[in-house]
């Protein structure tokens, strides 16, 4: 009879522990649903779009790129130049704090 009591107590503790873990996982899933923000893909801007953002001529964008103020990206051999929007916005913020 003593062995049966131990098994019942052990099973009861096991089920309670399992229930607590399920509750914890459930709370984590609900928190994730509320706070999850998918990562936005990086947006690339053309030289003309950057010039419009800064309200400058496209030649100034070219000069700033050559001086290292702006970092450009492109496809080799295509002649196309692109800039990361996040970098351009960072540069704008830095200039405004001067």
Predicted TM-score (pTM) above 0.75: no
Q: Whole-number mean pLDDT of the chain? A: 85
Inform me whether the pLDDT recorded for 4 exceeds 80: no
Q: Identify which has the larger pLDDT, 1 or 16.
A: 16
Tell me what pLDDT residue 85 has: 93
Q: What is the mean pLDDT of residues 62-75?
A: 93
**Quick one: CA torsion of 36, 41, 47, 49, rounded to 10 degrees?**
-50
Handedness of CA 54, 68, 44, 41 (dihedral sign): negative
Q: Which helix (H) or strand (E) holds 34?
A: helix 2-35
Inform me whether the pLDDT recorded for 74 exceeds 60: yes
Band the pLDDT of 9: cuts 50, 70, 90.
low
Neighbours of 48 (CB within 10 A): 10
Closest Cα to residue 50, out of 79, 77, 87, 78?
87
Buried b (16+ CB within 10 A) or exposed e, 6-22: eeeeeeeeeeeeeeeee
pLDDT in tens, 13-43: 888 888 888 889 888 888 888 888 877 888 9
């Amino acid at each position: 009879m003593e062995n049966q009591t131990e098994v019942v107590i052990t099973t009861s503790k096991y089920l309670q522990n399992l229930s607590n873990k399920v509750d914890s996982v459930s709370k984590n899933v609900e928190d994730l649903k509320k706070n999850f923000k998918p990562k936005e893909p990086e947006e690339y801007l053309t030289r003309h779009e950057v010039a419009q953002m800064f309200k400058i001529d496209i030649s100034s964008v070219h000069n700033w790129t050559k001086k290292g103020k702006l970092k450009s990206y492109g496809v080799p051999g295509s002649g196309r130049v692109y800039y990361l929007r996040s970098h351009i916005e960072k540069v704008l913020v830095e200039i405004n704090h001067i």
